[in-house]
Structure 1
């Protein structure tokens, strides 16, 4: 049976991807996780699953995680913003293991943005001649219940420096399903898949949806990039992480995140989730 390594197996994409792959019972899955003690209970009851410690910054964790693996899926951890240091050793190791497919979650419009870590990682994968599939999603809906949750819960506000721009938000559960399909079908090798949600919305519209679903008034304060950066740094977020966020929201303000494609529905065979679907499913994160 084929074995697939899913790095970041406890994440918003990695965990639903593992559940998808395990449910097919067609493959064995290795969940590469950073904190074994914390994450082990999450995987209880899933069949054909191994769980291994994995750390991009610790090459000693590579051999056990890669043992017997033919395909690898990964997302760049947000705090790792220097690909030549953070990612290249891992990719070079993958090259030595005769991996048949590397599936990387990149970024919509990445080909126009050479300064983003995603662009650099794509280039490194191609330069190493690794057989790849690049999944290029738009912004994650789940950014709201992770990165931006504090402001929504405490201030009932979307403190996000996106101006009046529109974004074709996608649910990470749909990204996970796309990844599962891609990993199980060789026809997606050497493809760059631009996937989005079903509509491009601005944050005023997101606030309206959240207000309606949650029954609590949610506003959009539209901070400047500088104010956002200063606030995030004051909260103690890593400087590299904050700088990448600012860069991505600058790209958003320039209109590069508004594209809507039909690629998601085409791959899934059904329509992707809407922002209303997402807010209903995650409302417990926002109302505490």
Structure 2
């Protein structure tokens, strides 16, 4: 038997969103996958009758009505390339308010309450100003950043080109975040108004990350520890838009200041199991690093 309410999952093909869709539908919930390219995405759920697909773009308000039609709850992540929330995201939040959506789960950032310059902080603040029924998931750095954003350096240079200094990071697996988001959406009343800081079970330096990857991948992985300025200049030269490069640099500056080392019990409590270990993540994504 399926649950009659329908949940909109934006960024449904992403690392977190895909897990949200899979977890919700496994429990019998109907889901609308909001995606930028419906035709390209259709094959992902062609055998899942609980998923329908809608075109969605935060920058195109014309895509909002069809995507939200018949929707009671919404999950979303800020697309990394959208760095000016007032223009990029606030129109969508206002639309959610007008539609009287019952629950909105937003993936924010750990320590965001102390960092008002981050886009995540501004989005949280606007959601609270609008009195949207929110749950904020505030994860530490994603393990999957390594096999996406930093994949090329690992594949081609066997190096972690990341400006985190000597600081520790309590990495979290995006699959755990997706499962937690689905748990919150399926049990709305107890999670409304909650702000969960979500981390893995250990805080690692990038030297330790390199050691673990070396042991599991069977080849030497180094950590070159570039400066923030060198990192920013290099990724812009590679083609990263300046606004996105600035956000990345800012987040790694926050890491250097020690704001990513916190370990919390939230993931274990919400999942009712241990968070996925870094070692397990590397084993699961081994092919992505070859």
- State the superposition RMSD in angstroms: 0.6
Write the mapping of 1:89-168 to structure 2, written as runs, cut at 5 A.
Answer: 89-168=91-170
CA distance in 2, matches of 1:56, 1:4: 17
CA distance in 2, matches of 1:5, 1:173: 18
Instruction: Report how far residue 72 of structure 1 moved.
Output: 0.4
After superposition, what is the alpha-carbon deviation per residue over 1:195-230, rounded to whole angstroms, capped at 9, x for unaligned?
Answer: 100100000000011111111110000000000000
TM-score by length of 2: 0.98
Pick the aligned partner of 1:210 from 209, 213, 229: 213
After superposition, what is the alpha-carbon deviation per residue over 1:230-256, rounded to whole angstroms, capped at 9, x for unaligned?
Answer: 000000111111000000000000000
Pick the aligned partner of 2:263 from 260, 263, 272: 260
Q: Is the 8 A contact 1:103 1:132 kept in 2?
A: yes
2:19 match: secondary structure: helix
2:169 match: secondary structure: coil
Instruction: Report how far residue 47 of structure 1 moved.
Output: 3.0
Unpaired stretches in structure 2, ≥5 consecutive residues? none
Report what 2:10 is aligned to.
7
Instruction: Report how far residue 28 of structure 1 moved.
Output: 1.0
Write the mapping of 1:62-101 to structure 2, written as runs, cut at 5 A.
Answer: 62-101=64-103
Pick the aligned partner of 1:230 from 229, 233, 237: 233
1:99 match: secondary structure: coil
After superposition, what is the alpha-carbon deviation per residue over 1:25-61, rounded to whole angstroms, capped at 9, x for unaligned?
Answer: 1x21000001112222122212311100000000010
Moved over 6 A (4+): none
1:199 match: secondary structure: coil
Report what 1:39 is aligned to.
41
TM-score by length of 1: 0.98
Unpaired stretches in structure 1, ≥5 consecutive residues? none
Is 1:200 matched with 2:203? yes
1:73 match: secondary structure: strand
